[in-house]
Structure 1
Amino acid sequence: MLRVVKFLVVLIILAAVSAFAGYRYWESRLDAPLAVEEETLYEVPRGAGYNRVMADLADRGVIKDEWAFRLLTRLEPEATPQLRAGEYMLEPGMSGRDLVELLGSDRVVTYPLTIPEGWTFRQMRARLDAAPKLENQTAGLGDDEIMALLEREGRHPEGWFFPDTYRYHKGMSDIDILRQALARMEQVLDEVWETRRDDLPYETPYEALIMASLIERETGAPEERREIAGVFKRRMERGMRLQTDPTVIYGMGERYEGRITRADLRESTPYNTYTIDGLPPTPIAMPGRAALEAAVDPEPGETLYFVSRGDGTHHFSRTLREHNNAVNRYIRNR
């Protein structure tokens, strides 16, 4: 009887040792580095389950012991996350456990998409159409249909999307980016409008947005924005037309080929501020925060005119005579 007990004890010890050794070996397989020698992009397809993904990684040679990853679901189910669809970057030195944790995280590969200040909605749509791995849900849709998708029926899209760099991942759509940019512009416009001066010649945030778009298109020099806003403010207060070339260009649409003529300045369009009084009916571009801030806080002064020096800055004048001299100096002589 004693011999039988001793034998059973030995068997138990051997089984425990074997189980411990097997467990340690299984852990070593999970802790082993992946078979990748450089950063490797891997995509988890939408709807793919854990076992299917592990089998695919084994077929690709990324992992060597598929059984160890399948066993993980039984021995440590809490360590086996629900995989999330998307692209992930596998890196040299990453272990199997790191891999499983990564594929269940939100650390998907993202791509930048930059919308510059002063761009039009048409330019923004073209960039969205060309963005790699961004789903295009607006192809063939008119601007009105897009605004309806964004729950802004009846609103003209121009100016309503904040220029910035946005990040997206595979599986996102152009509507997702548009929704972010729209919400951002509405937020910034509300914030800036709260800081406005009380003597502005325009009464609504939308009119400030229109003014900011004119300022954005007139100059790329940050130090000039408030002075240009001041010129526009004083012209409106005196009943003078704004006479800003970017509105002429916007009204010409696709007919614009790089220059405007005297005939273009005289052409009657809803946007030509040489022929209409006050502001155009909508923004003409997407203004950034600095242009919005200038629109609600114009610089005081007496200047009523400005002309481009040809280097990105402007010469400002108080009188028409001074302005005509500046035009001769900077435009006609050039």
Structure 2
Amino acid sequence: MRAVDIKGGAGPISALHITSVPKPAYTPTQALVKVKAFGLNRMDLLQREGHYPVPPGASKILGVEFSGTIEALGKEATGHFQVGDEVFGLAYGGAYAEFIAVSTKMLVRKPGELSWEECAGIPETWITATQALYLLSHFTPGKSILWHAGASSVSIAGIQLSVADSASAVFATARQDSKCEFVTKQLGATACFNTTTQNWVEEVMKTTAGKGVDIIVDFMGASYFQQNLDAVARDGVIVNLGFMGGTKLPAETDISAFIRKRVTFVGSSLRSRDEAYQGELRDRLVEHALPRFRDGRFKVFVEKVLPWEEVQEAHRLMEENRTKGKVICTIG
């Protein structure tokens, strides 16, 4: 089969190319899926550069989310799937290819209301947002929440989930006015603060009458660490999912909020989780979000669809941080 490879195993965008590799073998509990489309995620950029370790036993081919048709099934596969079924799903790797072997526990039947491209943009981002909201922050209706990088795909999903499940207020941050406008007008967030022109902590405290927000979901790490502690409410939860702003804190960092405000700080990743944990989140996605995709209450925002021959341009779009939603590549 053909697949996207990286010259030298790691490197810049120019190292990406399509080559011929062996078709993956599938186990008795897996399906072999012929890929129609795959979604890009920031971890793909890090893995391409050699900064994201692949989980043990996972394919070294980039990509964790895809849509396609089942080509073959293992004898012990669950879920009542059949050859020819249209599906989308989450994998530990291998989506930038014509075929992928994946556990049927991580497959979802493709709704007729959604395109191949939309379905390829759901698994990683919506499952990550589901994990952050329900398993890590223990969100309940009536709590307030702030999503950093509000126009990123995970936050786009998280904001929609928060609004639908009756958060008292849904805030976001972004670095461009156009992204802030998108987050409030298209996604229904209460307010979005431009971190390049506004002091977002001051704005949060002003908007919440000095209380702060109950939950903060962060992808920046060190650069927002102090500000998150300043903006979170008493008994609040900060969920850290990334380190786009570094991992080293300055010596003057004030961590008194951990005791003074009784703050909980929790970090997590999805790709390193076992199949049972990911399967639970997949079930939540099917039960909680899929009906809302079908009737249009939830929307998959796709910024750009490119043929996979233009995978370099797709990675370039992600690196420029100008997207509002998913970048998707199609095969065929």
Measured against the shorter chain, the TM-score band is under 0.3
Bigger Rg, structure 1 or 2: 1
Q: TM-score, normalised by structure 2?
A: 0.24
Which of the two has greater helix per residue? 1
Between 1 and 2, higher relative CO (CA 8 Å, sep ≥ 6) is seen in 2
Which of the two has greater strand per residue? 2
Q: TM-score, normalised by structure 1?
A: 0.24
